[in-house]
Amino acid sequence: MKTKVAVIGAGNVGASTALYIAERGLADVVLIDRPEMEGMPQGKALDMQQSAPLWHKGARIEGATDLAAVKGATVVVMTAGFPRKPGMSRSDLLKANADIIRPAAEAVKAHAPNAFVVVVTNPLDVMAWLFWKTTGFPKHRVVGMAGILDSARFRAFLAMELGVSGADVQAMVLGGHGDSMVPLPRYTTVSGIAVSELIPAERLAAIIQRTRDGGAEIVKLLKTGSAYYAPAMAAVEMVEAIVTDQKRLVPCSVLLEGQYGLRDLFIGVPVVLGGNGVEKLIELKLSPEETAALHKSGNDVADMIAELAVGV
């Protein structure tokens, strides 16, 4: 039986995710959106299906407006949610997207009880926690996409700075997906050479700040939207690691139970991602400054969870 991946949310991130999964020949894909969007996910899926003969891959792509279409999915990618709009507070966004996550999580629990879940909806770490809490799934089966995207942005900026291939840059970014993320230059190399050997400290600090502002920079340039190609590709890396059992060592948002001095929250740390989902959590030796930065990021996530937990 062919592997099936369900993508909830047929907006830019969801549609790009579906396209990349099918294009790589990883799985058949169902692209799901709200009932009032009838025709939109089906239309996008049909457009992609018509391009399939040109990829020389056999993946099937379907569209649906019923969450029951997740049935039989090995992996569910949760991308649906509102972007933050001008004048919208963090609390407004939190509550609006929580109202989207809960029914989606209930549907996955009912129709795809053995699925692995990759959460992309923002605020990402909190939404991953809420999906896990709502489904009651084991912690190794619910994971948030953040660290791979943030690390990819860091890698891209470093590659641009050095004039080298981004494929040769390995980077590690921990923490929550937001302003308080924690890029780790000590664990960042170019073909094994420490990045601090290649870029002056001042310039490196500027690149780290640009990484933190990576999403905001794109929002400012686009004026009417936010990033979707890189977020979708980061989610697909995780889907591929799971469905092909790659055992990738990558930063992902996962449940911490005392590791790094944090508990009862989802936050980005290095894990081994494979056929059993989160197979191992790696605890790095952090400096006091790095630990303090990670704890600050953790506190930001914990505050938002506390705000939501009132209604859970």
The residues that are catalytic are: 177
Phi first, then psi, for residue 209 (nearest 5°) are -65, -40
- Show Cβ contacts of residue 48 under 8 Å, excluding neighbours closer than 6 positions: 15, 18, 19, 22, 61
CA-closest candidate to residue 117, choices 100, 102, 105, 106: 105
CA-closest candidate to residue 44, choices 67, 81, 13, 66: 13
